[in-house]
Amino acid sequence: MWNGSTSTSTAIGIRPKLRPTKLRGNASAVTALLGVLAFWACVLGSAHRYPSEYDWRYMPLSNLFAITRNPAGHLWAAVGIVASSLCGLAWTALLPPARRPAGIKAFQFGIIFMAGSAALPESVLPFRKGHEILTVLAFAGLCLGLVVMMYQTIERSLSRHVRWASLVAGSAVLPILLAGLAQLYVFYALPAMPWVNLTWRARGVPVWLSFAFWEWTTCATLSAHMAMLALIANRGYGVPAEPTHPVCSTNPPADPAGPCRSNDNRIK
User: In tens digits, what is the pLDDT along the chain, a chain of 268 residues?
Assistant: 444 444 444 444 444 444 445 677 678 889 999 999 999 999 999 999 999 999 999 999 989 988 889 999 999 999 999 999 999 999 888 877 766 777 888 999 999 998 888 887 777 777 777 777 888 888 888 888 888 888 887 777 665 566 777 777 778 888 888 999 999 999 999 888 898 999 999 999 999 999 999 999 999 998 998 898 888 876 644 444 444 444 454 455 455 555 554 444 444 4
Instruction: Please give the distance of CA 38 from its chain centroid, rounded to a whole number.
Output: 14
- For the chain, the first-to-last Cα distance in angstroms comes to 16
Count of C-beta atoms within a 10 Å radius of residue 214 = 25
Tally of residues, the chain: 268
Which backbone phi and psi does 190 adopt, to 5 degrees?
Answer: -130, 60
Phi-psi map region of 260: left, alpha, beta (phi>0 left; psi -120 to 50 alpha): beta
Question: How many angstroms separate the most distant Cα atoms in the chain?
Answer: 89
Check residue 102 and give its pLDDT: 76
Contact by Cβ (8 Å): 179, 215: yes
- Cα–Cα distance measured from residue 11 to residue 20, given in angstroms and rounded to the nearest whole number: 24
- Cα–Cα distance measured from residue 149 to residue 127, given in angstroms and rounded to the nearest whole number: 32
Which backbone phi and psi does 198 adopt, to 5 degrees?
Answer: -70, -15
